Amino acid sequence: MSDPVLLCYCTCPDPASAQALADALVGEGLAACVNRIPGIRSTYRWKGEVVTDSEELLMIKTTGQRFAALKERLLALHPYELPELVAVPVAQGHEAYLDWVRDPG
């Protein structure tokens, strides 16, 4: 069985931290691609209060084999006390693209 492709979601507080994370993850070979989606609004409960913030969403394409190292690096670099990192397995997709995610060269 080939290495499963994962789509990981992570929010960042600002464009600079989002770009720094994207550059590190792709540059260090932990992700094949990171898309940055600016202008999202997140509402969540934090330390007993409901908070709404502007954030950037990262959509990170990686594999199951690289996930542990990606998680370790993201947690080391992320400015949040409790960063969001959610990985969703990719059930189907364009196989040539998924092969590229597995081995972006």
By the 8 A CB rule, do 12 and 56 touch? yes
Question: 15 pLDDT exceeds 80?
Answer: yes
pLDDT digits (tens, 9 = 90+) for 35-56: 999 999 999 999 999 999 999 9
Domain that holds residue 54: 5-102
CATH number at residue 19: 3.30.70.120
Q: pLDDT confidence of 105, banded at 50, 70, 90?
A: confident
Domain count, the chain: 1
Question: 1 pLDDT exceeds 70?
Answer: no
Mean pLDDT of the region 19-44:
98
- The torsion angles phi and psi of 104, rounded to 5 degrees, stand at -75, -10
